[in-house]
Chains A and B, each alone.
Chain A
Amino acid sequence: MSDTVIKVENISKFYQLGLINHGTLAKDLQGWWAKIRGKEDPNSRVSLLSSAKNNSDNDFIYALKDVSFDVKQGEVLGIIGANGAGKSTLLKILSRVTSPTSGCIKIKGRIGSLLEVGTGFHPELTGRENIYLNGAILGMRKHEIDKKLDEIIDFSGVEKFIDTPVKRYSSGMYVRLAFAVAAHLDPEILVVDEVLAVGDADFQKKCLGKMDDVSKKEGRTVLFVSHNMAAVRQLCTRGILLRNGELVFNGDVNDCINGYAQTSITNLISHAFITPDMHASGFSNEITIEEATLLNDPAEMSTDEPIEIELVLKNHFSKATQCRYSVNIFDETDMRIIGYVSEEIPIPQNKETFKVRCQLENHSLTKRRYKMSLNVGYKDFGTNVKNFDVVKGGVLTFEIKYLNKKSKSEYVCWNRNWGAVIHQGCNINVEVL
């Protein structure tokens, strides 16, 4: 392809865990002397070479492992992944802050980043002086800044204070000025990393707008790293998904996001003994949930099928005679989809442990993976929450696969944008006339 602007070829980067060296020159020299004599370094715990090759060794961690992809002119590429997946490392390598351990990246054009807004601002200098300084750090020539100076000042909205040292600026003015410089950098390739995490709603909008302009109107390439899936979906044309330093998906941005979201529920759990760390703290624990079982097949569930759960509870000599049970269902992003709350029902007396079965009807959940949290309590009026025990989300997980249990008709294609719940009463009857 002639219009490829970034070509990443088999990039790997590993970091050594723990101390970088022995800390003092003396020990390093000792190690070096031992190496010369062909002996093992007395200060090293593992032989360095063997562990570098072998990922299982604990002293090295791969931040990136054999990552390859291309980016074409004018493309907006979203880079997503959980924390520690290697996104930042990838950007660091792309922006040449650090270098890869192996592999090679070829780039056409200047890379500018919106990732470090305000880098190199000197507090004693005035706004105007800092524009020049910051612009130069970001790789602009003086005449380029001269040309854009008015535009930058205008965009920042701090023209009144432009000859005041930036140490007297409010933090908002500071960020606006810094962003104005970065936004007028005009690189061929723009790297944006989590800028949306800082600044107010207005500023975020401005960032997104600028990125949209840059890519759509000016046809420039943008690499966008964010945890904000809505923004990624809105802006990007293509996505790559990183997991533990490996590239696991490269393609359409929606598929990529789906792939990312799926990662948070990796396995389906239909039975669990509740360990102490699964109980939320701060509850009286008069009655505790000890064991939870999903009676359905967690991988083969359908929208019209009631969810059945069996709980084993333990009564720690509670004075209460009755209690209610509730189940909350969350999606992969921990968004609460449905809450079920039962009536208060009598607690079997004179029994230390007892069993209950809950049936959740008409959940109407669509094709997705879900997790549940469970709790038991009484008289839940308003904020006066009286729970005996709350078991945190993720204790049981399941996947809705079919629309109809009997026919096992699958959702052929259910876009996640269409929502998590389909109303059971809303049937669409289509007839060919």
Chain B
Amino acid sequence: MSEKENWTTIITPKNSFFRLNLKELWQYRDLITSFVKRDITSTYKQTILGPLWFFIQPIFTTIMFLIVFGNIAKIPTDGVPQVLFYMNGIILWNYFSKCLVSTSNTFVANSAIFKKVYFSRLTIPLSNVISALVQFVIQLALFIIILIAYKIHEADFKLSFAVFAVPLFVLQMAVLGLGIGLIITSLTTKYRDLTHLIGFAVQLWMYATPIVYPLSMVPEKWRSLYVLNPVVPILESFKHAFFSTGMPSLTEYGISIAMTIFLLFAGIFVFNFVEKNFVDTV
């Protein structure tokens, strides 16, 4: 019976309920790199502006916000220069929404390939999150350049120590987007309604976060409810890092972290549950 140990793969009807199978994911690390490379190189192939598109999108959104919310609606920005205020929110929100939307399309968008070969399914959402990160970093660099330009001219804001924690904020955004995305993609295998929902839900969600307006504009009695939105403390901290606008309270941030972790595990749980047989239902 010693040979029993020699089986490299055992196929059974169901995955154990919570088995991350990190070892297998690790074996496919080259695949993740390949997917990331594919995503980045293929996105702007055969375009004139190429990687410049990475910049164009946040710049134009910022200009839009500047006109609509800054100059027409005249929403204050807590003393932060409007350009920086909007761009700060936009790039991190973009990263989050990209993680969320691409992850939530995992099964539907890749069903053709999933139907044909087996590889660790988690490689797809992970590579999405990573390739979105590349875009984010490039946009962050743009933001920092503009920040420095402003700093030279007018210095009425200052960096805070939280700037060192920026990678952590970004990580949390990625994890949050991934967790929610995993849940949604698992459900889309049965209910396609969600693919239609997710596109505009993300847009609506943006208005429930302090991107076009500061957190201080939210009425005090609603604030405790408002910060239950797990994205809010992250965006606020990210803003604080560059403009010292004030960190959210520890409780507020704690709730956000707890929700992030919960959603990640719930996401992996349902994803694991669905991935084995989704081919038959999708």
Q: Which residues of A contact B (CB under 8 A)?
A: 2, 7, 15, 20-21, 24-25, 28, 92-111, 113, 115-116, 119-120, 122, 124-125, 129, 132-133, 136-142, 165
Chain B window 29-49, contacts with chain A (Cβ cutoff 8 Å), 1 for yes, 0 for no: 011011101100110011000
Q: Contact check, A97 vs B11: say whether CB atoms are below 8 A apart.
A: no
Q: Contact check, A108 vs B11: say whether CB atoms are below 8 A apart.
A: no
User: Could you tell me the distance in whole angstroms from the C-beta of B49 to the nearest C-beta in chain A?
Assistant: 16
What residue of chain A has the Cβ atom nearest to residue B12's Cβ? Answer: A104
B18 interface residue (CB < 8 Å to A)? no
With contacts A20-B190, A125-B42 taken as known, whether A107 is within 8 angstroms of B116 at the C-beta atoms is: no
- In the assembled complex, the Cα of A165 lies from the Cα of B42 at a distance in Å of 10
Q: Contact check, B41 vs A99: say whether CB atoms are below 8 A apart.
A: no
Q: Contact check, B10 vs A104: say whether CB atoms are below 8 A apart.
A: yes
- In the assembled complex, the Cα of A360 lies from the Cα of B11 at a distance in Å of 56
With contacts A20-B281, A107-B8 taken as known, whether A95 is within 8 angstroms of B34 at the C-beta atoms is: no
Could you tell me which residues of chain B, from 34 to 66, have a CB within 8 Å of some CB in chain A?
Answer: 34-35, 37-38, 41-42, 45-46
- In the assembled complex, the Cα of A108 lies from the Cα of B279 at a distance in Å of 24
Q: Contact check, A96 vs B11: say whether CB atoms are below 8 A apart.
A: yes
What residue of chain B has the Cβ atom nearest to residue A8's Cβ? Answer: B11
From B3, B9, B41, name the one whose CB has the most chain A CB atoms within 10 angstroms. B9
B114 interface residue (CB < 8 Å to A)? yes
Q: Contact check, A124 vs B193: say whether CB atoms are below 8 A apart.
A: no
What residue of chain B has the Cβ atom nearest to residue A139's Cβ? Answer: B119
Q: Contact check, A107 vs B7: say whether CB atoms are below 8 A apart.
A: yes
B280 interface residue (CB < 8 Å to A)? yes
- In the assembled complex, the Cα of A108 lies from the Cα of B10 at a distance in Å of 9
With contacts A100-B11, A119-B113, A119-B117 taken as known, whether A165 is within 8 angstroms of B45 at the C-beta atoms is: yes
With contacts A25-B191, A125-B41 taken as known, whether A99 is within 8 angstroms of B13 at the C-beta atoms is: yes
B28 interface residue (CB < 8 Å to A)? yes
From B8, B114, B118, B190, name the one whose CB has the most chain A CB atoms within 10 angstroms. B118
Q: Contact check, B8 vs A108: say whether CB atoms are below 8 A apart.
A: yes
Residue numbers in A under 8 Å from B37 (CB-CB): 129, 132-133
Q: Contact check, B28 vs A136: say whether CB atoms are below 8 A apart.
A: yes
Q: Contact check, A97 vs B118: say whether CB atoms are below 8 A apart.
A: yes
From A94, A106, A136, name the one whose CB has the most chain B CB atoms within 10 angstroms. A136
Q: Contact check, B7 vs A95: say whether CB atoms are below 8 A apart.
A: no
With contacts A25-B191, A25-B193, A133-B34 taken as known, whether A124 is within 8 angstroms of B11 at the C-beta atoms is: no
B251 interface residue (CB < 8 Å to A)? no
- In the assembled complex, the Cα of A102 lies from the Cα of B14 at a distance in Å of 9
Q: Contact check, A113 vs B117: say whether CB atoms are below 8 A apart.
A: yes
Q: Contact check, A109 vs B8: say whether CB atoms are below 8 A apart.
A: yes
With contacts A15-B280, A101-B13, A120-B113 taken as known, whether A95 is within 8 angstroms of B118 at the C-beta atoms is: yes
B115 interface residue (CB < 8 Å to A)? yes
Could you tell me which residues of chain B, from 235 to 282, have a CB within 8 Å of some CB in chain A?
Answer: 276-277, 279-281
| Between-chain CB contacts (< 8 Å), 26 pairs | A21-B281, A25-B193, A28-B190, A92-B279, A96-B9, A98-B277, A98-B280, A99-B12, A99-B277, A102-B13, A105-B9, A106-B7, A107-B7, A107-B10, A107-B11, A108-B7, A116-B116, A119-B113, A122-B42, A124-B42, A125-B41, A133-B35, A136-B33, A137-B31, A137-B117, A139-B27
User: Could you tell me the distance in whole angstroms from the C-beta of A223 to the nearest C-beta in chain B?
Assistant: 14
**Chain B residue total in the interface (Cβ 8 A):** 38
Q: Which 4 A-B pairs have the closest CB atoms?
A: A96-B118, A116-B116, A136-B31, A105-B11
Q: Contact check, A100 vs B114: say whether CB atoms are below 8 A apart.
A: no
- In the assembled complex, the Cα of A133 lies from the Cα of B40 at a distance in Å of 13
Q: Contact check, A103 vs B13: say whether CB atoms are below 8 A apart.
A: yes
What residue of chain B has the Cβ atom nearest to residue A138's Cβ? Answer: B117
Residue numbers in B under 8 Å from A132 (CB-CB): 34, 37
What residue of chain B has the Cβ atom nearest to residue A21's Cβ? Answer: B190
Residue numbers in B under 8 Å from A107 (CB-CB): 7-11
- In the assembled complex, the Cα of A429 lies from the Cα of B38 at a distance in Å of 73
- In the assembled complex, the Cα of A176 lies from the Cα of B117 at a distance in Å of 19
Q: Contact check, A95 vs B117: say whether CB atoms are below 8 A apart.
A: yes
B16 interface residue (CB < 8 Å to A)? no
What residue of chain B has the Cβ atom nearest to residue A130's Cβ? Answer: B38
With contacts A98-B279, A132-B34 taken as known, whether A93 is within 8 angstroms of B190 at the C-beta atoms is: no
B6 interface residue (CB < 8 Å to A)? yes
User: Could you tell me the distance in whole angstroms from the C-beta of B187 to the nearest C-beta in chain A?
Assistant: 8
Residue numbers in B under 8 Å from A28 (CB-CB): 190-191
What residue of chain A has the Cβ atom nearest to residue B31's Cβ? Answer: A136
Q: Contact check, A108 vs B42: say whether CB atoms are below 8 A apart.
A: no
Residue numbers in A under 8 Å from B7 (CB-CB): 7, 106-108
Q: Contact check, B42 vs A142: say whether CB atoms are below 8 A apart.
A: no
What residue of chain B has the Cβ atom nearest to residue A96's Cβ? Answer: B118
Residue numbers in A under 8 Å from B30 (CB-CB): 136, 140-142
Residue numbers in B under 8 Å from A97 (CB-CB): 114-118, 279
What residue of chain B has the Cβ atom nearest to residue A102's Cβ? Answer: B13
Residue numbers in B under 8 Å from A111 (CB-CB): 9
- In the assembled complex, the Cα of A333 lies from the Cα of B51 at a distance in Å of 59
What residue of chain A has the Cβ atom nearest to residue B37's Cβ? Answer: A129
User: Could you tell me the distance in whole angstroms from the C-beta of A312 to the nearest C-beta in chain B?
Assistant: 51
- In the assembled complex, the Cα of A116 lies from the Cα of B193 at a distance in Å of 30
What residue of chain A has the Cβ atom nearest to residue B119's Cβ? Answer: A137
Residue numbers in A under 8 Å from B3 (CB-CB): 2
What residue of chain A has the Cβ atom nearest to residue B193's Cβ? Answer: A25
With contacts A119-B113, A139-B119 taken as known, whether A124 is within 8 angstroms of B13 at the C-beta atoms is: no
- In the assembled complex, the Cα of A93 lies from the Cα of B10 at a distance in Å of 11
Chain B window 180-224, contacts with chain A (Cβ cutoff 8 Å), 1 for yes, 0 for no: 000000000011010000000000000000000000000000000
User: Could you tell me the distance in whole angstroms from the C-beta of A185 to the nearest C-beta in chain B?
Assistant: 11
Known: A100-B11, A105-B11, A106-B10. 6 other contacts (CB 8 A): A2-B3, A104-B12, A108-B7, A124-B45, A125-B42, A137-B117
- In the assembled complex, the Cα of A279 lies from the Cα of B119 at a distance in Å of 51
- In the assembled complex, the Cα of A165 lies from the Cα of B118 at a distance in Å of 25
Residue numbers in B under 8 Å from A104 (CB-CB): 10-13
Could you tell me which residues of chain B, from 96 to 131, have a CB within 8 Å of some CB in chain A?
Answer: 113-119
With contacts A2-B3, A25-B191 taken as known, whether A106 is within 8 angstroms of B118 at the C-beta atoms is: no
- In the assembled complex, the Cα of A152 lies from the Cα of B141 at a distance in Å of 40
User: Could you tell me the distance in whole angstroms from the C-beta of B198 to the nearest C-beta in chain A?
Assistant: 14
Residue numbers in B under 8 Å from A137 (CB-CB): 31, 34, 113, 117, 119
Residue numbers in A under 8 Å from B12 (CB-CB): 99-100, 104
Residue numbers in A under 8 Å from B10 (CB-CB): 104-107
Q: Contact check, A108 vs B6: say whether CB atoms are below 8 A apart.
A: yes
User: Could you tell me the distance in whole angstroms from the C-beta of B201 to the nearest C-beta in chain A?
Assistant: 15
